[in-house]
Amino acid sequence: MMQKIETLFVDLSDWFIAWLQSLGVPLAWADGILLLIQFLCIVGIILVNITILIWLERKVSGFIQQRPGPNRLGPFGVFQTIADALKLLTKEDIIPSKTDRWIFLTAPILFMTISVMLYIVLPMGKDMQVVDLNVGLFFFISLGSLTTIALLMGGWGSNNKWSLLGAMRSVAQMISYEIPLALSLMGVVMIAGSLRLSDIVAAQDNLWFVILQPIAFLTYLISATAELNRGPFDMPEAEQELTAGAYTEYTGMRYALFFLAEYTNLVAVSALASTIFLGGWQGPWLPSWLWIIIKTYLVMFIFMWAKWTFPRIRMDHLMAFSWKVLIPVTLVNIVATGFGLYIFKGIGG
């Protein structure tokens, strides 16, 4: 019975392909249609998750701050996000006349598109990945870097000094923290011997990588917080003098799209952390796709906890921290991992 629930989605897609083939559709086309459906499912998952996340963030921040959080709409305020989304949809869409129109309009769409593309390689359960690239991890990190372009487009297209300033700061921050992000993951890659995400999960059969690479986990979390522009690294966004930084000139749904994209990134990054450090979909008794959900939410809770507890780091401290502290630490981690592996293999491990 548990086995059936476990392989539910895999069985469904197998049956779907068999059914299409029986209708006379060639295999390549059937695969293509399945891919499309999987993509739509991903979009669906993202939207559901974001809805839950926004509510969760407000509730968690409320409890940390000794207040109830949303509690009017629905039991425990669960319909709050829907109400907010409806409100945003009805807002007037203002496009300032002096903006560089195409860049201005494309920026949020690009941001969201890239964030959605990150989910293609994430393993959401045993054998449940849209595409199991053999350079999955590399693909993920590279795409993550592209988001800086979307931000810069937003700031530049607004044709506003302060937006540009905010966007440039964001980009500087994100570029600086990508290096420790990637380097933290190198230790894991060295031990697992592969960039394929399903291999990395399989390599954690006996021991989760968080135990073998605790420092990498920590630096990954810190770098990811900076990448996501979340507190305590949200200086470019929450900087009160520069209003909302790169997002200043955006209104209504476009503004919401930026924040939705940020939340999408949050889920993706947390899912990656669970995959690489916390054993992915492995876990006793419960089906695999449930385990990955639980672990992802656990990591997201840590991100939220950090945001609502710490004050903001000043821009120059932020850069200094990345270049002078995080990068050396991650490099040392790689060297130590190398030594460890060498000795491990030497003693016949």
Partner 1 sequence: MLSTERLTINIGPQHPSAHGGLHVEAVLDGEVVLDAIPHVGYVHRSVEKIAESRTYAQFVPYTARLDYLGTHLPVIGYVQTVEKLAGIEVPERAEYIRIIMGELSRIASHQLFIGSLAIDLGATTGLLYCMRDRERIMDMFEMTSGQRLLAAYMRIGGIAEDLPAEFIPAVRSFVRDIPKMIKEYQGLLYGNEIFQARLKGIGKLSAEDAIAYGVTGPNLRACGIDYDIRKAEPYGIYDRFDFEVPVGSKGDAWDRLMVRNEEIIQSGRIIEQALEQMPEGEIQAKVPRVLKPEKGKSVYHRIEGAKGELGYYIVSDGGEKPYRLHVRAPSFVNLMALPLVSRGGLLQDIIVNIATLDPVLGEADR
Can you give the binding site for partner 1, defined by CB under 8 A? 61, 64-67, 161-162, 231-232, 234-235, 238-241, 308-317
Q: What is the phi-psi region of residue 311: left when phi exceeds 0, alpha when psi lies from -120 to 50, beta otherwise?
A: beta
Our CB check for partner 1 shows the closer of 219 and 275 to be: 219
Nearest to partner 1 of 22, 66 (CB atom) = 66
Backbone φ, ψ for residue 113 (5° rounding): -60, -45
State the minimum distance, in angstroms, from the CB of residue 20 to partner 1.
Answer: 52
Q: How far is the CB of 157 from partner 1 (least distance, A)?
A: 21
Closest by alpha carbon to 155, among 145, 172, 167, 173? 167
Return d(Cα 79, Cα 70) in angstroms, integer.
9
Q: Cβ 73 to partner 1, closest distance in Å?
A: 22
Termini Cα distance of the chain: 38
Nearer to partner 1, 16 or 259 (CB): 259
- Considering the complex, state which of residue 103 and residue 172 has its C-beta at the smaller distance from partner 1: 172
- Taking the complex as a whole, the smallest distance from the CB of residue 305 to partner 1 amounts, in Å, to 10
Q: In whole angstroms, what is the distance from residue 15 CA to residue 22 CA?
A: 10
User: Smaller CB distance to partner 1: residue 87 or 314?
Assistant: 314
From the list 218, 262, 225, the residue with the least C-alpha distance to 118 is: 262
Q: Give the number of other Cβ atoms within 10 Å of residue 94's Cβ.
A: 11
User: Closest distance between partner 1 and the C-beta of residue 172, in Å?
Assistant: 12
The torsion angle over the Cα atoms of residues 236, 240, 242 and 244, rounded to 10 degrees, is: 70
Q: Which is nearer to partner 1, 238 or 336 (CB)?
A: 238
Report the residue number, 92 or 241, with the smaller CB distance to partner 1. 241
Whether the CB-CB separation of 147 and 265 falls below 8 Å is answered with: yes
Please give the full DSSP string across 12-45, using - where no structure is assigned. HHHHHHHHHHHTT--HHHHHHHHHHHHHHHHHHH
Which residue number, 295 or 307, has a Cβ lying nearer to partner 1?
307
CA distance 1 to 326: 47
Question: Smallest distance, Å, CB 161 to partner 1?
Answer: 8
CB 60, min distance to partner 1, A = 11
Spacing of C-alpha 340 from chain mean position: 30
In the complex, least distance from residue 314 CB atom to partner 1, rounded to whole angstroms: 5
Do 156 and 303 touch, CB atoms closer than 8 A?
Answer: no
Half-sphere exposure of 217 (CA within 13 A, CB side): 17
Contacts of 232 (CB under 8 A, 6+ apart): 225, 306, 307, 310, 311, 312, 313
CB 268, min distance to partner 1, A: 25
Q: By three-state DSSP, how is residue 65 classified?
A: coil
**Residue number, 181 or 313, with CB nearest to partner 1:** 313
